[in-house]
Amino acid sequence: MILIGVGANLPSEVGAPRETCAAALEMLAAEGVEITAVSPWYETAPVPVSDQPNYVNGVACLETGLAPGQLLALLLSVEMRFGRTRSVANAARTIDLDLLAYNDRIIQEPGLAVPHPRLAERAFVLLPLRDLLQVLRDRGLPGGADAWCHPVSKATVEEMIGRLGDINGIRRLS
């Protein structure tokens, strides 16, 4: 299962952060990436805590023939097309596309770490991921709620959520 995190907290030329997130997924689809499922969107406080606007975050499941490095390059290209600039770490952004997992592969190369090194620490990834896995299960698609675990730690999403402690500052949007 290929998973990406999608987030934004600044408007782009297509609109508010939620519209930008949806448009970024549409752009990936136009580039030949099949979006098989998308989690519900969440509103989340910035991490680390700051005076930035809240984020809209979600997780998408993909199918593609692109290798991990090629997919990452496409994600970065889509970010640039939506006006993403990289200035300082954790800065506000028009769009953020993170390669969270690429099947069960473990990759540590310059510029490419799969699974995402902070996946297990982020409620704004894990809560939408839990919902996404339920969507897959409800549809009878491979990779349902009981089928995915972290490739390194072998922890389930529920186990990782249980380790987070306080998960204030995040709410599911309707």
> Do the bridges between strand 2-8 and strand 107-109 make them parallel or antiparallel, or are there none, so unpaired?
unpaired
Q: Which of 174, 5, 20 is nearest to 94 (CA)?
A: 20
Helix, coil or strand: residue 131: helix
Would the pLDDT of 63 be above 70? Answer: yes
The percentage of the chain sitting over the pLDDT mark of 70, rounded to a whole number, equals 97
Residues pairing with 43 in the sheet: 56, 171
Would the pLDDT of 73 be above 60? Answer: yes
φ/ψ bin of 162: left (φ > 0), alpha (ψ from -120 to 50), beta (otherwise): alpha
Do the beta carbons of residue 110 and residue 72 sit within 8 Å?
no
Interatomic CA distance for residues 134 and 140, integer angstroms: 10
What mean pLDDT value characterizes the chain?
92
* pLDDT (tens digit per residue) in 107-166: 999 999 999 999 999 999 999 999 999 988 888 866 555 678 999 999 999 999 999 987
Phi/psi for 142 (5° steps) reads -60, 145
Q: In the predicted model, what is the mean pLDDT of residues 74-91?
A: 86
Q: Alpha helix locations (H) across the chain? A: 17-30, 68-81, 123-138, 157-162
| Alpha carbon 121 to its chain's center | 13
More confident residue, 56 or 166: 56
Per the listing, tokens 């499941």 go with: 61
What number does CATH give the domain 2-172?
A: 3.30.70.560
- What is the set of active-site residues? 84, 93, 96, 98
- For position 84, what pLDDT does the model report? 82
Here the tokens at position 99 are 């390669």
